[in-house]
Structure 1
Amino acid sequence: MESSRHSSASMEKQMAAPPKSKGGWKSIKYMIGNESFEKLASMSLVMNMTVYLRSNYNMSGIFLVNVVTIWIGTSNISSLAGAYVSDAYVGKYRTLLYGSIASLMGMGMMTFTAGVPHFRPPKCTDLPNCIQPENWQLALLFAGLGLLAIGAGGLRPCGIAFGADQFDTSTAKGRKQLESFFNLWYLSFTLALIVALTGVVYIQTNISWVIGFAIPTSCLLFSVVIFLIGRHTYIMKKPEGSVFSDIVKVIVASIRKRKVAYDDESKCSFYNPHDSHVIQTQRFKCLDKAAMIVDSNELNSKGLPENKWRLCSLQQVENLKCVVGILPVWVSGVGCMLVIDQQSTFGVLQAIQMTRTIGSEFAIPPGWMTGIAMVTLSVWIFIYEGIYVSKLRKLLKRNPRLTMVMRVRIGIIMSILCMVTAGIIERKRRDSALNNSAYIAPMHVFWLIPQFMLSGLTEAFDSVAIMEFFTTQMPESMKTVASAIFFITLSISSYLSSLIINIIHKLTEPNPWLGGHDLNNNRLDYYYYIIAGFGFLNLIYFTFIGSKFVAPAKIMVVEEEEELQQVEEGGDGRKFSGAYHEL
């Protein structure tokens, strides 16, 4: 009887015990582990893809550059599809899981292409008459790259967002934890970069491509296992529908009502549900027609639209206006990304045809040069955030941060300097090789450091500022859209780079500036100067047009700081609220 009472009491305690809480740091440790292994794998592949395709598939010239740029572009634009699937159907957890599995399968296929000689053409022994890969060999290669692109589409838009879901940002403790999470996330990225740069890329280039690909494949396997182990600790929010579909609906509805005219806005009726407090802005008035009620039959008995592709809410319309409003700045971002793309392809090709030895035995892997840009980016962010901002704030007693316009403009100037420097170095490299009748120029690869550093500074100033602008211009419900638009920027720049390369190749025949296995027979320096010219046009465009659309973000930041001060002093913060809605 007594044992029965003890058993009953034990059961009551178990039933009364509160359920184990989810989220927080207990979840983040699994996610950081997953992210670290995934980043190590992906970065080691991206940094060395040009070298792998050239040395193992005998690719060269335009075809090689097209394969790399299109693959990078597709990996970025697939993030848009990943964000849509996550928001509308399966949620962030499953999107991350499926993306990790797709990346693992793709990396596994890449390892097989490196390990099975039959899967690739014979090693080239007679430059430039190398045996090219057969169609079925290319099909296997592209299938692996395609799976990697699909995996990137699932991982990139959801990683940080899923991590942010694990914290309660409605509390001060949750907000501090979230800030620490971002710092830890960036630290894991930096550590993965260092390992990929110093270890994996070196193994791939100087020891074995099979081992060099097996390592990131194993890392991806570990990342999937770690992610699954922590599944019982995750906070998994259900998908609530995608903003992307709302954007399409507004466009369709506004086109359908394009012939509808209204002279007096006060007499027009717009669909604005009672739970929506959105303020109708005066910009892009043509889109307002999507929310205009032109017929009482457009609403059912419950006051909801009969056809959501003909009548949208004002909130949906204003969301699209936010997207349209950032397009002028987005154009400038594409121009800067165009410069960054050149170093992952042509910059690496330059390194291949330069002296890379240190001492008598050690040879610098060409892929290491792309890491210089990443290291420069990381170092500058540390200097700017950790030294410049913190020290000057104490000295000046005010916020010393550079404005967004200044950062974008500096980034564009850096992009121009990057291409001019690259052109000068390439001319010097080519002349050195031709004067010595050598395929490998007797000029050390360290000469490329300035152009890769300038590429990293371009990203540090322009890319970070552009991403910040996208985020600040979007309401809370559209943060995933901001991330997706940023990845679209990267994607369009890759496709644009491929298009420009092919056009220049055609226009400069029969002695093309680009193409072939030997850069010494090309005029890559001329191409760099053309891209620098695009950068100069981008600077003019941003100065006179694009920068005008950044000004509202600056006003918002100032007003937000005033609001925070008013809240601390007991103010009501109405000034910011009004300014925000007016913008």
Structure 2
Amino acid sequence: MMHESHSPQRQDALTLEGFSSSTRKKKGGWKSVKYILGNETFEKLASMSLISNLVVYMHTQYNMETTFSVEVFNIWSGFTNFLPLVAAYLADAYIGKFRMLIFGCIASFLGMGFMSLGAGVPSLRPPTCSTLSDCIPIKPTALQLAILYTGLGFFAIGSGSLRPCNIAFGADQFDIKTEKGRAQLESFCNWWYFLFTVALLVSLTAVVYIQTNVSWFLGFIIPTGCFAVSLTIFVFGHGTYIRLKPKGSIICDLLKVILAAIRKHHVDMKEDSELSFYDPPLSSNESEDSRHVKLSHTNRFRFFDKAAVITNQSEIDNNGKSIDNWRLCSLQQVEELKSILTTLPIWLAGIICFLSMGQANSYGILQALQTNKSIGQHFIVPSAWMGLVPMIFISLWILLYEKIYVPLTKKKTLKGKRLSIEQRLGIGIIFSIASMVVAGLVEVRRRSNALKHKTFESHTRIWWLVPQFGLSGLVEAFAAIPMMELLTSYWPESMKTLGGAVFFLSLSIASSLSNVLIKIIVVVTKRNGGTPWLGGNDLNKNRLEYYYYTIAVLGGLNLLYFLFFARFFLCSEVLQRQGQSEAGDEENNYQQSM
């Protein structure tokens, strides 16, 4: 997808390697997309096989305490979700999406290779305990941790490189200015989501079962092989791809506006009629593309308007262009920055939602580990299978929403009434609170049964965890999906890639907040000498429910913040301006980014 800026350097660089009408006929389209879909399917199968079972692996194979394993997971998840911002900048400005995808595949393959090495060589792991309840853990050595962290590091780099580029590179293969191209792009997205779902089901069932009940080494070798296949398929189709050259990054333009406004802080912002603003027309590339709209001047964040004020005629050349883009920016660039600043209050509210959503893959899995997981006498449900529950709830909600709710409202209003971003985010925040309250109540039951029978694994069956995992999925449906819609559909076209990267940045911040909260709770509760809320290898000796209730309280404060402050920014002139011409499927926007 093309994302032009307004600096001459970026406009001139917006070219295709060998681009012409004949090139479009020879390259791109379905003959190239089939390789991209194959690459993405095997990559997702491999990555989800690690993510879904990582906490269990570190806890059981490296003798990590519950708190430490969750902290490592959160740090790794935080870096994985932060790096797409860096990768998007590098891909746009320097190396292009194709090379970034190659780099990401190689890094992910190396990461999975190191994980397999640690799982397959006994000397690279500490001796494990036969029963976790009676375990006096032997801590992993520096070398053992180095192998583990190197694998996770490579994997984070690879995943962070792939996320912002895979869908965008697929979209580059179609000419979306034509009706046929738009239809092909929609079909591509549908196939992408279908294959993503298949990969997720295989990884969360077959591969996770092998890891938990057969062999961790075999369970890691399979995704390592998938990465090798993924890279091979992608490279094999290199001659069919349409490859856009690096065109510069919107991040640079935003920094230019900030710096230019600071340089001109002395400018007295009077009435617009008394000021001369630099407001050139869109470039030829942008004006020919119907997706690009000239943004009107707004009165919010007036300080940044100073970046577009012409204080001296020497700031522009004979052709009316800015001589120094770091001192004089266009109003278009200023309004793009305002679009970001206007969504920040909503974005901050989403981070607290993601804080509760992230507990399912960390402490939620550890809860499942200490429940009764047996079905009959011979089958044990892998703890990581609980990761299927949120996906099922999301799918059910989308089905009910698209096939029942919207058609019913269409009968009454002639046009299907869809829930607004404000409504969905509000519901998502409420679900985030409910998920933590339910998780706390279930933990009280699980722990009480374990203490009553003096067992490590509670007699409480694993199915009691379904409500909290299901609510986590609804948080994702009502909070994460509209957040992705806000950051992609309501930002200017030139900022779509950045919007996706900022979404992953919010997940990164949520992971970091979770770690900070854990450390504070551990320090405070140990100081009082009572039962620690978190820590050790046995949740039965903790009060995990208090940790959940703390996050629920934060969710309550977040709800008040949203209702009395943040939601009013959804009615701002910036968002209304952007939303007038935007439609589309918010669920597809979100699923395409994952």
Match of 1:7 in 2: none
Shift, 1:516, TM fit: 0.9
| Farther-moved stretch of structure 1 (115-124 vs 319-328) | 115-124
Per-residue CA shift, 1:360-393, capped at 9, x if unaligned?
1111111111221122222322332244324543
Number of positions where the alignment pairs a residue of Structure 1 with one of Structure 2: 546
What SS class does the counterpart of residue 355 from structure 1 fall into?
A: coil
| Contact map agreement 2:297 2:335 (CA 8 A) in 1 | yes
For 1:387 and 1:182, how far apart are their aligned partners in 2?
Answer: 23
- Unaligned stretches of 5+ residues in structure 2: 1-20, 284-293, 584-594
| Contact map agreement 2:82 2:505 (CA 8 A) in 1 | yes
Q: Superposition pairs for residues 57-456 of structure 1, below 5 Å?
A: 57-125=62-130, 127-275=134-282, 277-300=294-317, 303-390=320-407, 392-394=409-411, 396-456=413-473
Shift, 1:419, TM fit: 0.5
Query: Structure 2 residue aligned with 1:51, among 56, 60, 74?
Result: 56
Match of 1:487 in 2: 504
The letter for the 1-side match of 2:468 is Q
Per-residue CA shift, 1:532-576, capped at 9, x if unaligned?
1111111111112121122358856884489xxxxxxxxxxxxxx
Per-residue CA shift, 1:82-131, capped at 9, x if unaligned?
10011101111111111111111111111101001111211135744201
Identity of matched residues, %: 50
CA separation of 1:561/1:259 partners in 2, compared to 1, >3 Å: closer, same or farther?
Answer: closer
What SS class does the counterpart of residue 385 from structure 1 fall into?
A: helix
| Contact map agreement 1:403 1:554 (CA 8 A) in 2 | no
For 1:387 and 1:203, how far apart are their aligned partners in 2?
Answer: 38
| Contact map agreement 2:101 2:165 (CA 8 A) in 1 | yes
For 1:167 and 1:263, how far apart are their aligned partners in 2?
Answer: 47
CA separation of 1:200/1:327 partners in 2, compared to 1, >3 Å: closer, same or farther?
Answer: same
Per-residue CA shift, 1:194-219, capped at 9, x if unaligned?
11111000000000001100111111
What SS class does the counterpart of residue 442 from structure 1 fall into?
A: coil
For 1:425 and 1:38, how far apart are their aligned partners in 2?
Answer: 35
Larger RCO (CA under 8 A, 6+ residues apart): 2
For 2:323 and 2:576, how far apart are their aligned partners in 1?
Answer: 39
| Farther-moved stretch of structure 1 (492-501 vs 550-559) | 550-559
Per-residue CA shift, 1:293-330, capped at 9, x if unaligned?
22333335554444332222222211111110100110
| Contact map agreement 1:190 1:378 (CA 8 A) in 2 | no
CA separation of 1:231/1:186 partners in 2, compared to 1, >3 Å: closer, same or farther?
Answer: same
| Contact map agreement 1:404 1:554 (CA 8 A) in 2 | no
Shift, 1:21, TM fit: 2.0
| Contact map agreement 2:490 2:575 (CA 8 A) in 1 | no
| Farther-moved stretch of structure 1 (31-40 vs 466-475) | 466-475
What SS class does the counterpart of residue 383 from structure 2 fall into?
A: coil
For 2:417 and 2:271, how far apart are their aligned partners in 1?
Answer: 46
CA separation of 1:557/1:258 partners in 2, compared to 1, >3 Å: closer, same or farther?
Answer: closer
**Normalization by structure 1: what TM-score?**
0.90
What SS class does the counterpart of residue 377 from structure 1 fall into?
A: helix
CA separation of 1:35/1:386 partners in 2, compared to 1, >3 Å: closer, same or farther?
Answer: farther
**Normalization by structure 2: what TM-score?**
0.88
For 1:189 and 1:122, how far apart are their aligned partners in 2?
Answer: 36
Shift, 1:343, TM fit: 0.9
The letter for the 2-side match of 1:154 is S
- Unaligned stretches of 5+ residues in structure 1: 1-16, 563-583
For 2:280 and 2:225, how far apart are their aligned partners in 1?
Answer: 51
For 2:129 and 2:261, how far apart are their aligned partners in 1?
Answer: 58
Shift, 1:47, TM fit: 0.5
| Contact map agreement 2:490 2:582 (CA 8 A) in 1 | no
